[in-house]
Amino acid sequence: MNAGGATDRKQSLSVLCGKWFAVGLLLLLAVLLLSAAAPEKHLSVYSTAANYSLPLVERDGHDYVGLLELLEPLGTVSAKSEPSRWRLHYNNVLSEFVVGSVRVRIQGRDAVLPTRFLLENGRGLIPVASLASILPRILGGPVTVREESGRLFVGSVATHFTASVSPDDSSRLVFHFTSPVNPTVATEPGKTYLTFNREPVTSPASPTLTFASKAIPSATYSENNGTAKITVNSTIPLLASFSNDGQTITLAPTKSQPASSAAVASAPTPPPNNPPPQLLAANPPLPVSRRYFAIIDASHGGNDRGEALSATLAEKEVTLAFAHWLRQELESRGLSTLVLRDSDISLSTDDRAAAANTAHAAVYIALHAASSGHGVRLYTTLLPYAVDYDNGPFRAWTTAQQSSVPLSQATVASVATALKKDEINVRSLTAPLRPLNNVITAAIAVEIAPPASDISALASPAYQQLVTSAVADGISAIRAQLGAAP
């Protein structure tokens, strides 16, 4: 009896152990599955010095990042740990953090973190929620933090983009980026994904883009865990092709895969660091394949920085940003548009006028920026006394605008009305501006000043969109009159 009871107890213990082992194995598998389902969080940092990614750690329900690791690629940095303090030198800026406290002192001035500073094995950790307020004081310049998506932009480094279907083939979607990109491309039925893991691609005026195409009705922009993604919705399979400069991506039906050269030819923007094809001195002018409704000319560029709007903001940068926004706004209203200077290149006033005249656009829009005054100033040309004379089909260069002045004035009036409707301060003026007097179609200049005394508003996407949306409304309102002009 005793031997039998012992055997039963052993068997019961064996069964019980087996059950506990199975339970433990299931729990382990569950933990592994949960770990696999929750990828490590990252913070992507974009700057002129470097683009890089850092892991985030969660402490007390908050995301933290190592401050020393964040700053190392940006400048000269060192740190020293003490029992209750952590001192960090970045270039000539001293920051002192109190361990376990929200207090911090930067260059002798106090600041407060949203949650406490942590020191782990000599590594200083600060909450991601504090970066927007702390980093500008350490770096001495503007910083944009998108905490929810884990992206940080140091200075004006964002890459903007526009998207439009080809006017000749609505089953082709063309993306234009302000800097070269190399996204990961993935497809599934009805969707094509462009994922940007390294580039500072940022959102367009609206995260949802719609197109007048049954094949490609829409696209959406999203950000998550340090990456940006464009999702293109389509009713047909699409294949992506890249231009040689990396700034143009074309999505076209897979049955007619375009070559890279075809993608370049379909792009309405010039390659970076090179003048548009029709301006190259070493080659004969190339014919313009299509007539653009609007030509946008971002003033200055290359060695010509324009006005120094602030210590860190040059006019050439502001006009280019406004040009990209205005193109997006005009094309969303169905007006085909070419940005004449789509990168940091040098163009003479004669080159700009020649390009605008060659493209046979309905309207030429020169963009300028100013630190003085408020709102927008609109200009039409003040022509010089005629010293040249038209000869048959040829126009005198210095007074080529002569016959288009009434249409240019009507364009300014329409744009001014749209700006006033959006409560933007506006003035209409005339001035002997080049290349307005050399352009043979309606030609205006738009000079944009900040809405108030804060110059940094010129770099604000919200203000850029507000102004360009109103300008596009004004151009759209007079489109019939502009389009009917010879």
Per-residue model confidence (pLDDT) at position 289 = 39
pLDDT of residue 422 exceeding 80, the answer is yes
Same domain, 204 and 333: no
Domain boundary among 154, 183, 214: 154
Same domain, 208 and 273: no
CA dihedral 100, 103, 106, 107 (to 10 degrees): -120
Same domain, 297 and 431: yes
Asked whether residue 6 is domain-assigned, the answer is no
pLDDT of residue 274 exceeding 50, the answer is no
Asked whether residue 26 is domain-assigned, the answer is no
Same domain, 122 and 178: no
pLDDT of residue 261 exceeding 60, the answer is no
Per-residue model confidence (pLDDT) at position 368 = 95
pLDDT tens digits along 301-347: 888 888 888 888 899 999 999 999 999 899 888 898 988 888 888 88
191: which 2 tokens?
């969707």
Same domain, 315 and 276: yes
In this structure, which amino acid lies at residue 457?
A
Per-residue model confidence (pLDDT) at position 155 = 86
Per-residue model confidence (pLDDT) at position 340 = 87
Report long-range pairs for 421-425 (Cβ below 8 Å, ≥24 apart): 421/470, 421/473, 422/466, 422/469, 422/470, 424/375, 424/376, 424/451, 424/466, 424/467, 424/470, 425/374, 425/375, 425/376, 425/451
Domain boundary among 232, 267, 302: 267
Global pTM?
0.49
Asked whether residue 439 is domain-assigned, the answer is yes
Asked whether residue 4 is domain-assigned, the answer is no
SS3 400: coil
Label residue 454 by pLDDT band (50, 70, 90). confident
Same domain, 229 and 112: no
Same domain, 210 and 355: no
CB 66 within 8 A of CB 125: yes
In degrees rounded to 5, what are phi and psi of residue 458? -65, -25
Asked whether residue 301 is domain-assigned, the answer is yes
Per-residue model confidence (pLDDT) at position 483 = 82
For residues 417-433, average pLDDT: 91
In degrees rounded to 5, what are phi and psi of residue 375? 80, -140
Strands 363-369 and 442-448: parallel
Asked whether residue 46 is domain-assigned, the answer is yes
Asked whether residue 10 is domain-assigned, the answer is no
Neighbours of 152 (CB within 10 A): 23
pLDDT of residue 263 exceeding 50, the answer is no
Same domain, 396 and 311: yes
Strands 426-431 and 376-381: parallel
User: How many domains would you assign to the chain?
Assistant: 3
- Residue 262 burial (10 A CB sphere; 0-12, 13-18, 19+): middle
For residues 102-120, average pLDDT: 93
Structural domain harbouring 351: 268-486
Asked whether residue 7 is domain-assigned, the answer is no
What's the rounded Cα separation, in Å, for the pair 391 and 122?
Answer: 80
Per-residue model confidence (pLDDT) at position 396 = 67
Same domain, 52 and 200: no
Domain boundary among 99, 128, 154: 154
Same domain, 477 and 383: yes
Per-residue model confidence (pLDDT) at position 258 = 39
Neighbours of 340 (CB within 10 A): 29
Same domain, 53 and 184: no
- Residue 170 burial (10 A CB sphere; 0-12, 13-18, 19+): middle
Label residue 4 by pLDDT band (50, 70, 90). low
What's the rounded Cα separation, in Å, for the pair 162 and 156?
Answer: 18
Same domain, 98 and 164: no
Q: What is the mean pLDDT of the chain?
A: 82
pLDDT tens digits along 53-95: 899 999 989 999 999 999 999 989 999 998 899 999 999 899 9
